[in-house]
Amino acid sequence: MGMVKPTLGKYRNPLSATAKKLKKDGANESPQKAIRTYNHSDQYVSDVMKHYNAYKDNVKWVKAGIKDPDKLGKTQGGTSGGGDIEDFKGDLPKPDKSKYGVTYPYGQCTWYAYERRKELNLPVETSFGNGGDWGSNAKAQGYKVNHEPKAGALASFPHGTFGSPAEYGHIAVIEKVKKDGSFIVSESNVKGLGVISYREFKAKDAETLNIIHGK
């Protein structure tokens, strides 16, 4: 019996057929519909959208007209703070991102703050939420929260303060407190997703921040 050669038939140009099917299902109308074409579960769509919403911060900042990310946090409500570090080269830690896992969404401020605290043997919970909510959530879970900067503590930026997104706020790690009360923080996603950078804040800026210590 001879071998039957397969024919293309309905399998011809499968990419085109798939594209037409996705368009028909509304995949090009919104992220939610695009996700739903692959998995109709409401829970699946919700889970994916949580990550989508977390990662779209950078786009929102650009659309808001922030042309220079370096200026984020320098002024807010008449309070200055958040200057780039110029004179501390070689005197700041160099976190090893290669050893970091994935808990909070990768590259976000929350991801870095969680991993940096773990690196300092000062672990925190994975349930603190957005950066601006870490202060209240940490306090509710037994952590000491005040306005006193200390090396190793976390600085939670209330929503919309110091250039942080109004919807999410921000979280950073205090690396050094100077004699005059000013302090230096390390953080992620101010200059780009997963980019770790440093800023210096004035002593009076701590009055706005929620400083998270230990339990």
Domains of the chain: 12-55 (no CATH), 67-212 (3.90.1720.10)
Count of H-run helices and E-run strands, the chain: 6, 9
Confidence of residue 210 (pLDDT cuts 50, 70, 90): very high
Distance between CA atoms of residues 89 and 75, nearest Å: 24
Over residues 62-99, the pLDDT tens digits come to 444 444 544 443 333 223 345 555 445 556 777 777 77
Distance between CA atoms of residues 82 and 80, nearest Å: 7
* 123-147: average pLDDT: 96
Over residues 136-152, the pLDDT tens digits come to 999 999 999 999 999 99
Over residues 32-64, the pLDDT tens digits come to 666 566 566 666 656 656 555 554 544 444 444
Distance between CA atoms of residues 57 and 192, nearest Å: 10
